[in-house]
Structure 1
Amino acid sequence: MTATLATGAGPETDPLFGANYFTLLRWALALGVVIGHAFMITTGYEVTRIHEWTLSYLSVNGFFILSGLLISKSLNTRPQLLPYIISRLLRIAPALIVLLIALILFFGPVYGEKTGFDYLTQSEPWAYVAKTLAMGDPLGRPGGVFHASSDPHFNGALWTIRYEVLAYILAGAAFFVGVLRSARSVLIAFLLVQIMYLATPVLQQQNLSIPGGVISLLRFMSTFLMGMCLWYFPVLRHPPLWSLGCSVVLFAVFGWSFLGELFANIAIALIMMRAGLVRSANARIAKIPDYSYGIYIWHFPVMQSLAITFSLTNAPTLFLIGLPFIIIVSAISWHFVEKPSLKFKVRRIE
C-alpha cells in the first residue's frame, strides 16, 4: 500500500496534490544561491551567513529537502521504473546540455585564455563537457574561461547536480527493490545517514581521513531523506507555528554546534511546509513558471561574464545588474528547452 492510500492524502485533502507555492519557494532558494555567489565572485567570501552557515549552502539544502518530498510523491503515485528514469533524465539533461554548448560556443571563446576559434582547438573544454555530462567534478575553468575573475570557475553551482542525480538513483533503486516503501524504513534510513553525517567531524578530529565526496553525499542524502520523511509522515507537512518557532530558536542558539546544520534543515523544512502548502493558494502565484533550475545553472556564468565585462567588484551591484539577465536566460531555458522536454516526457510515457 502506498503512502497516499495509507494516510488518506489526496487532491481533496492535501495541497501537495493541488495548488501550492513550491515553485515560488524554488525561486526563493535559487535566488538565495545567486546572492551568495554574487559575493563569492566579487570578494571570494560569502557574508550572508548565520553561525558560518551561508545562505547559498542552506538554500541548496532546501532544494534537496523539497526534492526528496516530491520524488517520494512521484514514486508512490506513479510507481513505474522506466517513466521514473526518463522523467528524471529529461528534467536535468536538456538544459545542462545547452549550458555546456554555451560554454563551447560563447563563454569559452569570449572569456577564455585563448579566444575565438583557438578556444575550440583545446582538448580541455571538450574533456570538461564529457566529464560534466558523465556526472564528474564540474568545478574548474576549462580552457581558462573566466580566468580574469577573482573566483575563476566556469560554474560554481554545477557540482551539486551529480549528487541530485545520485539521490534520484539511490532513492529510485531502493524504492523499486522494496527497501524504501514504508514510513518506518524511510525514517530508519534518514536516522542512519544523519548519524553518519553528524559523526564525520568527530572522526576527522581523530585524524581519520574522509573524502570530501563522501561528506557531501552524506549531507545531501540526509536532506533528501528528510524530504522523503515529509511524504511518509504527512503530519509533518502541517507543522504548528510553535514547532516552527522552536526550530528557528534552536538554530539561532545552537547553530554553532555540531547539531547546527540539522537544526537549520529542520527549520527550513518546516518553513517551506508552512509557506508552500497553504489551504487556499493564489492561482496566479501557484502557476508561475518554474525558472528555478535555469536560474541555478545559468546564474554563475552570467554573473562571471558581467563582472569581467563591466569590472563589477561590488556584490549587491553585481546581483542587481545580473538578475534581469539571469531571469531572461532562465526564461528562455524554461520555455524553449525545459518545458518542451517535459511535454515530450508526457507525450511519450503517459
Structure 2
Amino acid sequence: MMRLADQMALKRYKGPGFDRIRVIAALIVLVHHCTAYITPNIAHDVLFSFSRGTIQFGLLAVSIFFSVSGFLVTPGLSYRGDITAFAVHRFLRIMPALVVNVIITVLVVGPLLTTLPLKEYYLDQQTYRYLNNLVFRTTTMLPGVQLDDGTSPTINGPLWTLYFEALSYITLVALFILGILTNRKACIGILLAVYIANVIFWLQPDIEKLGLERIAVFTSLFVYFFTGVTLSIFSKEIPYDYRIASLLLIMTTVALPLGLGILILPISVSYIAVYVGYSDILGKRPFKTDYSYGIYLNHALVITVLMVLLPTFTNFLAVLTVVTVSAFVIAALSWRFIESPSLHLKTRISEIARRQLGYFLVKKNSVS
C-alpha cells in the first residue's frame, strides 16, 4: 500500500490540490457570511442543523485551513529545524496583507461609512483601537459605522481566526524547541491530549462561566492544526489510500446527525484535506497564484460596505455575485502587489534575521 510520503515524493512535495482547497475554503466562508442577508440565525445553517450543532459551514472551512496549514508548515521545522526561516515565512504570509487591510479599513472604509463628521471620526479613540487587529487583538467596530436599525455591524469578522493561527505557530515552535516534534511518542501524546480536551470542552456547558472560552476555542482549532502536523510527521507510516478517505467521509456523514461529529471531524477533515491536496482530483498542477488569503481577509469588508450603503440591496444571489467578484478582484490585487512581492523576500529577510540574531548573541556573550 502506498504511503503518504510516497505520494508526496511522487508529486515532488507540491500537492496540486492545496491551492484549490484553500480557495474553496475561503469561498465557503464567503458564502456563509453572505447568508447573513437571509438570516442571522446560525441554526438555519444546513450543516449546523444536520450536525446537531457540532459544526457549521464557516467553521468547517476554518478547520480545513488549520488542518492544511499544520500539515504544510511542519516540514520547515521538523526536518529543516530553521526557526528563523519559519518565523519569517509565517510573518510575510500573514502580516503585509493584514497591515494594508487594516489601514485601508481605518483610513478609507471607516470614513466612507461613518455617520460622524470626519474630524470627530479621526479624533475618536475607537478609530485607533481598530489597529489592535495588527497585533491580533480582534476589534470589529469603528465609530459612527451603523446599520439602518442603528446597530453597529461587525466590520471584518474573519480576523478573529488570525490570533489563533499565530498562537498555533507559536505553540508549534515551542513544541519543536522542547523536542516533541522529533519524539513520535510525545507527538501522539500531545495529539491525544488536545483531542480529549476538545471533546471535554465540547461536553462542558459552562465554558464561559469558568472563564475558559478562549482556551476552548483555541483547542477546537488547534486539534485540526496538530492533526495536520501529525500527518506530516508520520507521513512515512500513514497510508495514502482513497478507501481510507472514503471510509472517513462515510463515518463523518453517519456521525454528524447523531451529534458525534466532535469525535471524527478532526481526523476526517485533516486526512481528506491532505489526501485531496496530494491528488489530482481538483487539478494536476498547482496554481501560480494563491488568492485564498485575499478572499478570506477582504470579503467581509465588501459585505459591510453593502449592508451600510445599500441596505435595500438584499437579494442573496445578487449580493453573493457582487461580493464574490469583488473579493476575487481585491484578492488578485493583493496577491500581485502585496503578498507575492512579500513572499519573494523571504530568503533575503531570513538571512538578514539570522545575521542580526547572530550579532545580538555574540554581543550579549561578549558583555556577559
TM-score, reference length from structure 2: 0.84
CA displacement, residues 204-238 of structure 1 (integer Å, 9 cap, x when unaligned) = 36996243211101111111111101101216765
Which residue pairs with 2:124 in the alignment?
122
The CA deviation at 1:48 is 4.0
Percent of aligned pairs with the same amino acid = 25
Q: Distance in 2 between matches of 1:249 and 1:8?
A: 21
The CA deviation at 1:109 is 0.4
Which residue pairs with 2:71 in the alignment?
69
Q: Counterpart of 1:218 in structure 2: which amino acid?
A: T
Contact between 2:121 and 2:144, CA under 8 Å: does it hold in 1?
A: no
CA displacement, residues 25-79 of structure 1 (integer Å, 9 cap, x when unaligned) = 1001110111101113552135242313211110100100011101212213431
Which residue pairs with 2:363 in the alignment?
none
Q: Counterpart of 2:25 in structure 1: which amino acid?
A: L
Q: Distance in 2 between matches of 1:102 and 1:128?
A: 11
The CA deviation at 1:127 is 1.5
Larger radius of gyration: 2
Q: Distance in 2 between matches of 1:94 and 1:264?
A: 32
Which residue pairs with 1:322 in the alignment?
323
CA 1:259–1:233 in structure 2 vs 1: closer, same or farther (change >3 Å)? farther
Which residue pairs with 1:92 in the alignment?
94
CA displacement, residues 257-285 of structure 1 (integer Å, 9 cap, x when unaligned) = 563134233332232223210279956x4
CA 1:239–1:12 in structure 2 vs 1: closer, same or farther (change >3 Å)? closer
Q: Distance in 2 between matches of 1:33 and 1:82?
A: 32
Contact between 1:94 and 1:338, CA under 8 Å: does it hold in 2?
A: yes
Which residue pairs with 2:360 in the alignment?
none
- Whether 1:27 aligns to 2:28 is no
CA 1:22–1:309 in structure 2 vs 1: closer, same or farther (change >3 Å)? same
Contact between 2:19 and 2:286, CA under 8 Å: does it hold in 1?
A: yes
Q: Distance in 1 between matches of 2:130 and 2:58?
A: 24
CA 1:247–1:114 in structure 2 vs 1: closer, same or farther (change >3 Å)? same
1:174 is paired with a residue of what secondary structure? Answer: helix
More displaced stretch, 119-128 vs 246-255:
246-255
Aligned residues: 341
Q: Counterpart of 2:194 in structure 1: which amino acid?
A: V
2:154 is paired with a residue of what secondary structure? Answer: coil
Contact between 1:135 and 1:162, CA under 8 Å: does it hold in 2?
A: yes
Which residue pairs with 1:60 in the alignment?
62
- Whether 1:36 aligns to 2:32 is yes
Which residue pairs with 1:253 in the alignment?
254
CA displacement, residues 73-100 of structure 1 (integer Å, 9 cap, x when unaligned) = 2213431122221221111111111111
Q: Distance in 2 between matches of 1:289 and 1:77?
A: 26
CA 1:349–1:156 in structure 2 vs 1: closer, same or farther (change >3 Å)? same
Residues 104-253 of structure 1 correspond to what in structure 2 (within 5 A)? 104-114=106-116, 116-129=118-131, 131-138=132-139, 140-148=140-148, 152-204=153-205, 209-234=210-235, 238-253=239-254
CA 1:273–1:290 in structure 2 vs 1: closer, same or farther (change >3 Å)? same
CA 1:45–1:16 in structure 2 vs 1: closer, same or farther (change >3 Å)? farther
Unaligned stretches of 5+ in structure 1? 1-6
Contact between 2:145 and 2:152, CA under 8 Å: does it hold in 1?
A: no
Contact between 2:158 and 2:296, CA under 8 Å: does it hold in 1?
A: yes
Contact between 2:89 and 2:343, CA under 8 Å: does it hold in 1?
A: yes
Contact between 2:294 and 2:334, CA under 8 Å: does it hold in 1?
A: yes
CA 1:280–1:324 in structure 2 vs 1: closer, same or farther (change >3 Å)? closer
Q: Distance in 2 between matches of 1:202 and 1:27?
A: 32
Residues 11-26 of structure 1 correspond to what in structure 2 (within 5 A)? 13-15=9-11, 17-26=13-22
CA 1:348–1:249 in structure 2 vs 1: closer, same or farther (change >3 Å)? same
Which residue pairs with 2:82 in the alignment?
80
Contact between 2:207 and 2:213, CA under 8 Å: does it hold in 1?
A: no
Q: Distance in 1 between matches of 2:196 and 2:245?
A: 23
TM-score, reference length from structure 1: 0.88
Which residue pairs with 1:296 in the alignment?
296
